[in-house]
Amino acid sequence: MTDNDNSIFVGNKPFMNYVTAVVMQFTTKNAKTVIVKARGKFIAKAVDISEVASKRFLDNLAASKVKIDSEEFKNDEGKDIRVSSIEITLTKKK
């Protein structure tokens, strides 16, 4: 899936920044879908953000698709490291 304006990449910022960003996409930008993406330790945070946005703020949202993946690469010491990722597609219910 290619990046688009509706993707939100979860990182170190405060939790509510991301929840607000998701809600804003649906309310002020009238998006039909928003994709919440994260890697590694931020995966659980991405799930929390999606759940809070869809159940506490906008109750007509659902996680229509959840995709997990991973990529392997070598770290500075030449050791193989695998990093997992998640993509949560939130969609407005009819």
The angle subtended at Cα 83 by Cα 54 and Cα 42, nearest 5°, is: 35
Binds its own copies by CB under 8 A, chosen from 1, 67, 81, 93: 67
Q: Is 88 in the site for its own copies (CB under 8 A)?
A: yes
- As given in the structure block, the two tokens for residue 84 are 């997992």
CB neighbourhood size of 20 (10 A): 14
91 binds its own copies (CB under 8 A): no
Min dist CB 63 to its own copies, Å, is 5
- Whose tokens are 């990449």? That residue is 9
In the bound complex, what is the minimum distance in angstroms from residue 17's beta carbon to its own copies?
A: 17
Taking residues 31 to 60 in sequence order and writing x for each that binds its own copies by CB under 8 A, - otherwise, the string is ---------xxxxx--xx-xxx--xx----
Chain centroid offset of residue 38 CA:
6
Largest CA distance in the chain: 51
**Residue 70 interacts with its own copies (CB under 8 A)?**
yes
